[in-house]
Structure formats: structure tokens, C-alpha cells
Amino acid sequence: MAEREVKENSEMDDLEDAMGALLTSENYIIVDIGANLTNKKFTRDLDSVVSRARDAGVHKIMVTGITVQSSKDALRLTRLFPETLYSTAGIHPHEAKSWDDETEEALRELAANHEVVAIGECGLDFNRNFSPQDVQLEVFEKQVSLACELRKPLFVHERDAHKEVLEVLGKYKGRLPPVVIHCFTGDTAQATAYLKEGCYIGLTGYVWKDKSEDGVRRILEDGVVPLDRLLVETDSPFMYPNTRASKLPPYVKETLTERSLTFLHRYCTFQRNEPCSLPVTIEMIAAYMKKKSEQVALQTTFNALKVFGLSS
């Protein structure tokens, strides 16, 4: 335990040194823990997408796997961009009905590669129910069990199934690896319950959109999610952060830097969000939390390196 603490402190010192150097050029060091770069919208210009991300300060990107094939494709991309792209391997709840006798072994083989840093995107989606709920539950539990066996973090999707996700995770209490609730859009009670179980909360550009009385904005304003349990992601090509929206408070808009907005408005649209938009999300989160954006960038990057074992 002592050796682990020394290692983490050393990594944090290295990150702080690197962040200090890059801040002189108005840049960040950020990790995007969830981008769907196997999506066909990125087929023609992925080199440029990754290059823009790095220019914007997004130095590492996790490419999300949602089927066996997309998990294989994600792993292939990591080989094209080593030390920049990493991947996950899993079956999304929408695709749970595709699980067969060969799926678990395929995921196990994928997870044996060091570039594959998490099991997922897996979980439960009782909102759209593209797969039957009983099948979703069975497939999710199989992936939780696999993650426990392999000691790989879990990358979890949850929509309208908060109680059921906690029930499944509860069966493995004491054995669970780090658990990340991807693209969290719930309320204070849900966030608190996930945090109580040791989960990390992943936030996207959705923070511009939420105006509910007890949603993501309120969670950030009230300090419900501590910085050491927060991770950031774009969920590209989805979750475009619309900074021009009237529902975004003026005090948040005022904190957005010209550099971050330039990447967002020049390269990203509602139809195709990119990892280079992540600095804007960092700045919105920081404004809601009343913290410096550099602090949010630094801590979420450290969290990602620690949770997923990424090289610094």
C-alpha cells in the first residue's frame, strides 16, 4: 500500500510539472475516457481528429467498444496511435441480445492486450430497451464477473436502471475493480449512491443542457462529486457541448476561453462532436464547481491515469 501511495504521489508530481509547462502555452493535459472513434463518421479523417485533439490538450483518448467487432476495431486503432489511444472491450446493453457462446472468450482475449484498459461499455439501458431487460441483466453480470476476474476497470452505461445496476454491482462487493459510471446524467441521490459504492463519475458536454433542479449542474454546484472521483469524456461523435445555448448561465459562458471555443466551433458540430471539444467541457465543469479549469484538468487526468493504468 505504501509503495502504491509513493507511486501515485510521484505520478501527481510529474503531472503537475507537465501541466505547469503546458499552461504557459495556454494548453491543458486532458484524458478523454470515452470516444466512439470506430464510428463511421470518423472513417475518412481520423488522423486529423487525433491530431486536433492533441493540439487542444487531449493527450490520451479511450476508444469505446460496444460489440465484439467494434472492440476489435478499437484495439486496432490503438496500434495506429500508440500511447495516445487506448480501448475498452465490452457489449453495450443495446447489443446484449447479440451475446452468444463465443462472446465471453472473445472479450477475454481482447482484454489480454495491454492497450485494452477496461471492460465495457456494458451496463443496463431500461430507457430504450433495444435488448430485453432480462438479457441485459444477464449479459451485464457476466461482464462484471469478467472484470472482477481480470481486474480490469468497468466502464458502465446506465439509463433508467440505477437501482438494478447497484444490485448487480452489490453482488460483487469486495471484489470489484474500479467502476466508472460513463456519461452520468442522473440526480443527486443517484450520484451519491454511486459514490458511496466507490464508483467514479464520468461527465460529458451534457452539462450545457441540463437545467433540472436536481441534475448534473446542481450536483457540481453543490460539490456532490469530489474532484478525486471525477472523470471527463466527449462520447464523440455525440454529446456536443452547445456553448451558445441560452440555457447556459452567463457566468459559465464568461469563463470559456477563446482557445477552447475555437477548437469547438471550428471542428465540431451537433452531427459530429470530436475529442478536441473536451477543454470546453472542462471549463464548464470548473465554472459550476467554482474551481480553476487547470485544477479540474489536472485532477481528472490524474484520476484517469490511476483508474485505467494509462502511461503518463
Say which residue the cell 469530489 belongs to. Answer: 226
What distance in Å separates the CA atoms of residue 143 and residue 103, rounded to the nearest whole number? 10
Helices (H), 85-211: 103-111, 133-150, 162-170, 188-196
Report which of 87, 71, 107 is spatially closest to residue 34, judged by C-alpha positions: 87
Query: Where do the DSSP E strands lie in the chain?
Result: 30-35, 58-63, 85-89, 116-125, 154-159, 179-181, 200-203, 230-232
Annotated binding site: which residue ranges? 121, 157, 182, 235
What distance in Å separates the CA atoms of residue 67 and residue 58, rounded to the nearest whole number? 25
Contact 172, 148 (CB under 8 A): yes
What distance in Å separates the CA atoms of residue 300 and residue 291, rounded to the nearest whole number? 13
Annotated binding site for a divalent metal cation: which residue ranges? 121, 157, 182, 235
Contact 72, 115 (CB under 8 A): no
Burial (0-12, 13-18, 19+ Cβ within 10 Å), 228? exposed
Phi/psi for 132 (5° steps) reads -55, 145
